[in-house]
């Protein structure tokens, strides 16, 4: 039954001839961030030689006229829309207006310009927090908009849901090829390691590294340590994104994850092992836990033919090696 579903899904997903050739003009809004950097690295490694980028200073994606002028001039063929205002649980709770405003404008401006200037294909990046707070686990794509959202990141999630609906609406009305993927929690090189704004994995990697360096007897972990989270190494995401750009053309969203999750306590224990630190954990329950669990169902992605290759331990080791090489924790 599952095999039949997968086969049907593949047929319905209408794999087109839209495979990017090596000279295709590819635009990556957000190329310096966590996902953008990994995509740049992978596309260059794969031989793509016509990638265009602009820093946020050169092009403010919240400015509709500026985005329109850029698209009119450059006419990119393929767009990986990774630009977004992102942050961890504390940043989302503290700056909800910035999270919804910036993300709505970025998505609306880029998606509309891509349509107006006849882009061949656009891949929009959503997030696993678009699913209901108490969603059945693992979360299937069709559970979108079936329940109330998690309050700590509601503003961000609503903006991302608007981005998905934009893609689907332009496809329906104008026959565009705008696809949308939902990556789970990401980590890796070029992540944000600022302890107030970052997500849990980079935050705990930094805290554990610092505790070891300073011979501190304990590390503080926010919340109870009981929530579950799924983590995907960002270079795997880049690989999956290029795979989808070349192999998927449906209107349904696609989850990207590993299909495996761990508790925050298990995560910090794993980080302790990788870093080589054996101090105590102190759980600060004055900080929020957020959603109890958000494991993605990745059957659709597996049916299309892609699976995440990097284990959590290997991914944390690679991230730590990158941090050390680039002196990210030098002030620790
Ligand atoms: P979320 O996945 O949107 O909830 O965002 P985060 O990645 O920021 O947080 C995930 C979980 O990790 C929450 O339960 C946090 O309370 C917990 N957590 C534990 N320690 C930390 C920390 O130092 N920083 C962050 N951001 N989260 C932490």
φ and ψ at 17, to 5 degrees?
Answer: -85, 15
Residue 144 to residue 156: CA distance in whole angstroms: 15
pLDDT at 4: 55
Q: Could you tell me if the CB of 127 is within 6 A of ligand 1? A: no
Residue 182 to residue 164: CA distance in whole angstroms: 10
Distance 104 CA to ligand 1 centre (A): 24
Residue 222 to residue 195: CA distance in whole angstroms: 11
Whole-structure pTM value: 0.94
Whose tokens are 């990210």? That residue is 328
Residue 290 to residue 276: CA distance in whole angstroms: 28
pLDDT at 212: 98
Q: Which H helix or E strand runs over 81?
A: strand 78-81
Strands of the 178-183 sheet, one edge to the other: 51-52, 26-27, 78-81, 121-125, 178-183, 254-256
Question: Which ligand 1 atom sits closest to the C-alpha of 227?
Answer: 14
pLDDT at 13: 47
Residue nearest (by alpha carbon) to ligand 1 atom 9: 200
Residue in 58, 62, 54 with CA at minimum distance from that of residue 29? 54
Question: Which ligand 1 atom sits closest to the C-alpha of 204?
Answer: 23
pLDDT in 10s for each residue of the chain, 332 residues: 555 554 455 444 444 446 999 999 999 999 999 999 999 999 999 999 999 999 999 999 999 999 999 999 999 999 999 999 999 999 999 999 999 999 999 999 999 999 999 999 999 999 999 999 999 999 999 999 999 999 999 999 999 999 999 999 999 999 999 999 999 999 999 999 999 999 999 999 999 999 999 999 999 999 999 999 999 999 999 999 999 999 999 999 999 999 999 999 999 999 999 999 999 999 999 999 999 999 999 999 999 999 999 999 999 999 999 999 999 999 76
Q: Could you tell me if the CB of 153 is within 6 A of ligand 1? A: yes
Which is the catalytic residue, given 78, 90, 131, 156?
156
| DSSP alpha helix (H) spans, the chain | 2-12, 34-45, 64-74, 89-94, 96-116, 154-174, 200-213, 234-247, 264-275, 299-304, 312-325
Q: Could you tell me if the CB of 289 is within 6 A of ligand 1? A: yes
**Would you call 156 a catalytic residue per the annotation?**
yes
pLDDT at 332: 65
pLDDT at 18: 65
pLDDT at 268: 98
pLDDT at 224: 98
Residue 205 to residue 106: CA distance in whole angstroms: 30
């Amino acid at each position: 039954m599952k095999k039949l579903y997968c086969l049907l899904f593949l047929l319905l997903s209408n794999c087109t001839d839209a495979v990017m050739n090596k000279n295709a003009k590819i635009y990556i809004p957000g190329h310096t961030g966590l996902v953008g950097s990994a995509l740049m690295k992978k596309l260059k490694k794969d031989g793509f030689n016509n990638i265009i980028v602009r820093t946020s200073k050169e092009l403010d994606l919240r400015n509709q006229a500026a985005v329109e002028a850029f698209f009119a001039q450059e006419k990119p063929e393929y767009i990986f829309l990774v630009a977004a205002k992102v942050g961890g649980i504390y940043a989302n709770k503290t700056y909800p207006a910035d999270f919804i405003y910036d993300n709505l404008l970025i998505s609306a401006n880029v998606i509309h310009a891509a349509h107006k200037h006849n882009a061949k294909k656009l891949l929009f990046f959503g997030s696993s927090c678009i699913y209901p707070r108490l969603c059945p686990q693992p979360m299937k794509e069709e559970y979108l908009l079936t329940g109330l959202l998690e309050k700590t990141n509601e503003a961000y999630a609503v903006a991302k849901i608007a981005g998905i609906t934009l893609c689907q609406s332009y496809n329906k009305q104008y026959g565009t090829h705008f696809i949308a993927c939902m990556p789970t929690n990401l980590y890796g090189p070029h992540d944000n390691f600022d302890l107030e704004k970052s997500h849990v994995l980079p935050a705990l990697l930094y805290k554990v590294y610092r505790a070891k360096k300073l011979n501190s007897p304990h590390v503080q972990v926010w919340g109870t340590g009981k929530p579950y989270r799924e983590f995907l190494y960002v270079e795997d995401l880049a690989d999956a994104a290029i795979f989808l750009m070349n192999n998927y053309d449906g209107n349904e969203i696609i989850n990207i994850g590993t299909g495996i999750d761990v508790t925050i306590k298990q995560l910090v224990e794993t980080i302790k092992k990788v870093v080589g630190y054996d101090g105590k954990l102190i759980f600060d329950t004055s900080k929020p836990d957020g959603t109890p669990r958000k494991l993605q169902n990745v059957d659709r992605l597996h049916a299309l033919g892609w699976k995440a290759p990097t284990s959590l331990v290997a991914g944390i080791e690679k991230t730590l090696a990158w941090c050390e090489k680039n002196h990210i924790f030098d002030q620790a």
